[in-house]
Amino acid sequence: MVAETPVEDRRRYHRVGFHADAWLKFDQRSIPVELLDISLTGALLNINSDTNLDDGAAAKLSVELGAEVEFDMTGSLVPHCDGNFALHRDLSLVEDDHHLRRLLELNLGDPNLMDRDIETLVADHNQFNSE
């Protein structure tokens, strides 16, 4: 019998629980969402169950960190467990990551963990582009 590896041990990128005012922006509309956690490669969102979303819909997540600090993450939405949605970040459209990187560094508590995630992201990106 093989023991199950906890999901956290199989992850290639660190995710941090983080709650902030956030909005999903589509071509013609914007809806408020609850940000549950975030990583370099995406975010987990709680979206009002009355909102009708298409699987794979392109969206931009805007996260407000303060009165004058906001960052965006562009990607596609996919249904996730418990009625939540995951925003899978489009890594070819990486926006200015200064605020996201700092948010993750502070919440991880160890800048080395953030550096490791960035190295993994670059390696994955290079491997994908060489195929």
What integer pLDDT is reported at residue 6 of this predicted model? 46
What beta strand segments (E) does 16-115 contain? 16-17, 21-25, 30-39, 42-46, 58-66, 69-79, 85-89
Distance CA 94, CA 114 (A): 16
Q: What is the pTM of this model?
A: 0.71
pLDDT band for position 32 (50/70/90)?
very high
Provide the β-strand partners of residue 63.
22, 71
What is the average pLDDT across 41-66?
83
Angle at 57 between CA 71 and CA 46, to 5 degrees: 60
Distance CA 103, CA 53 (A): 28
What is the average pLDDT across 23-47?
89
Q: Which domains does the chain have, with CATH numbers?
A: 7-130 (2.40.10.220)
